[in-house]
Amino acid sequence: MIAGRLRAATLAALWRYPVKGMRPEPLARVRVGERGLEGDRGSALFVASDGHARTAKTYRGKEDNLLHTFAGEGAARAAAAAAGIALELRAGGPHFDAEPVSVLFDAWLRELEALVGIALEPLRFRPNLYVESAGAVSAEAAFVGHALEIGGVRLRVVSPILRCVTTTYDVVTGEPEPAVLRALAQQRANVMGVYCRVERPGEIAVGDAVVEA
C-alpha cells in the first residue's frame, strides 16, 4: 500500500511569502524551481539592534505576533521600532528555515481541529501548498522519503515540520490560542505538515491533481 493512501487529492490553495514571516500572496499558478516557488521568501527582515537576542538573525513572528499581517516592510519596521528594535531588509534569498517547499494536507488540519475544538485556517501554518484529499491520509512521518507529483513538478518529502508558538496566532488579529500548540505538542508530536525538496522543476496550479509516487 502506498504510504499516504492518497485518493483524489487536489492542490486546493497555493501561497508564497515574498518577505519571510510577513503577509502571504495567494497564487493561482506558479513556477517551481530547485529553490522553491518563484518569488518565495526572496527577502527577509533581520534584527539590526546591538545586544538583541536575535541580532543578525531573522526577525520572526515570535518577536511580533502581528508580523504575518503586515504587507510591507514599513509597517513591520514601525512596529519593531516601537519595541526598540531596528530591522534591516535583506534580499538575496530564498530565506528558508529548512527546505524550499512546505505542504499541508486538509486531513491533518481537520485532525487538529477536532483536538482543539475550533476551526483553524491553513495559513496559521504558512504552507506553500494546501492539499485536499477525498480519502484517508496517513500521518506526516509516513510520507518521508516518498514523492508527490503535482502538475509538472515532483517533490520529495524530507521531514515533518516541527511547530512553534506562531501557530497559535490568529491569521487576522494575531490573538494567540494556546490550545493549538498544546494539542500539537501533546498529541501530534509537535508536527503539522511536511518539508519537501524539488526533484523535478516545473509549473503547478490550483486544481492540479496530487499523486503520491
**Is residue 145 pLDDT above 60, yes or no?**
yes
CA of 174: how far to CAs of 21, 61, 123, 213, in Å? 13, 10, 12, 38
Who wins on pLDDT, 134 or 6? 134
**Is residue 118 pLDDT above 90, yes or no?**
yes
Lookup result for grid cell 481541529: 113
Who wins on pLDDT, 132 or 6? 132
Neighbouring CB atoms inside 10 A of 34's CB total 10
Q: Measured between alpha carbons, how far is 81 from 63 in angstroms, rounded to an integer? A: 12
**Is residue 191 pLDDT above 80, yes or no?**
yes
In 3D space, the residue among 67, 64, 56, 68 whose CA is nearest the CA of residue 24 turns out to be: 68
Region 183-211 average pLDDT:
97
Region 148-166 average pLDDT:
96
Domains and CATH numbers, the chain: 9-40+97-212 (2.40.33.20), 44-90 (no CATH)
Q: Which residues contact 57 (CB under 8 A, 6 or more apart)?
A: 46, 47
**Per-residue model confidence (pLDDT) at position 4:** 52
Region 61-86 average pLDDT:
93
**Is residue 186 pLDDT above 80, yes or no?**
yes
Mean pLDDT over each residue of the chain, to the nearest integer? 94
**Per-residue model confidence (pLDDT) at position 1:** 33
- Radius of gyration, CA atoms only, the chain: 17
**Is residue 80 pLDDT above 70, yes or no?**
yes
The separation between CA 112 and the C-alpha centre of its own chain, rounded to angstroms, equals 16
